[in-house]
Amino acid sequence: MASPLTPRATDFPRWYQDVIAHAELADNGPVRGTMVMRPWGYAIWERVQSELDARIKATGTDNAYFPLFIPESYLRREAEHVEGFSPELAVVTHGGGKELDEPVVVRPTSETVINSYFAKWIQSYRDLPLLINQWSNVVRWELRTRLFLRTSEFLWQEGHTAHATFDEARAFALRILTDVYAETMTDVLAASVVTGHKTVQERFAGAIRTWTCESMMGDGKALQMGTSHELGQNFAKAFGTQFSTRDGQLDFVWQTSWGASTRLIGGLIMMHGDDAGLRLPPNVAPVQVVVVLVRDEEGVRAAAEALVAELTAAGHRVRLDDRVDLSFGRRTVGWELKGVPVRVEVGPRDLAAGQVTVVRRDDQTKQAVPLGGVGDEVARILRLAQESLLAEATAFRLARTTEVATTAEAAEVAKEGFAVVPWSVLGEAGEAELAADGVTVRCLYGPGGELATGEEEGELFALVGKSY
pLDDT in single tens digits along all 468 residues of the chain: 678 999 999 999 999 999 999 999 999 999 999 999 999 999 999 999 999 999 999 999 999 999 999 999 998 887 676 676 778 899 999 999 999 999 999 999 999 999 999 999 999 999 999 999 999 999 998 888 999 999 999 999 999 999 999 999 999 999 999 999 999 999 999 999 999 999 999 999 889 999 999 999 999 999 999 999 999 999 999 999 999 999 999 999 999 999 999 999 999 999 999 999 999 999 999 999 999 999 998 899 999 999 999 999 999 999 999 999 999 999 999 999 999 999 999 999 999 999 999 999 999 999 999 999 999 999 999 999 999 999 999 999 999 999 999 999 999 999 999 999 999 999 999 999 999 999 999 999 999 889 988 666 678 999 999 999
Pick the CATH number of 12-272 from 3.30.420.40, 3.40.50.20, 3.40.50.720, 3.30.930.10: 3.30.930.10
**Cα–Cα distance for residue pair 283/295, rounded to 1 Å:** 30
Going along 312-387, which residue ranges are E strands? 318-321, 342-346, 355-360, 366-370
Task: Please report the pLDDT score of residue 309 as a whole number.
Answer: 98
d(CA 334, CA 328) in angstroms, rounded, equals 10
Question: At 137, is the secondary structure helix, strand, or coil?
Answer: strand
Q: How much is the pLDDT for 457?
A: 63
Spatial contact of 464 and 442, defined as CB atoms under 8 Å apart: yes
Contacts of 407 (CB under 8 A, 6+ apart): 421, 425, 426, 430, 433, 434
Contacts 24+ apart (CB under 8 A), 89-95: 89/140, 89/141, 90/139, 90/140, 90/141, 90/152
Q: In what order do the strands lie in the sheet with 461-465?
A: 62-63, 130-139, 153-163, 254-261, 222-232, 209-216, 193-197, 440-445, 461-465, 418-422, 401-403
| pTM, 2 dp | 0.95
Distances in Å between the Cα of 395 and the Cα atoms of 26, 52, 398 are 30, 25, 5
pLDDT of residue 82: 66
- What local confidence, expressed as pLDDT, does residue 84 receive? 67
Residue 181: enclosing H or E segment and its boundaries? none
| CATH match of 289-382 with 3.40.50.800 | yes
Output the CATH code of domain 401-465: 3.30.110
What is the C-alpha to C-alpha distance for residues 136 and 64, in angstroms, rounded to an integer? 10
Same CATH fold, 289-382 and 12-272? no
The domain limits of the chain are 12-272, 289-382, 401-465
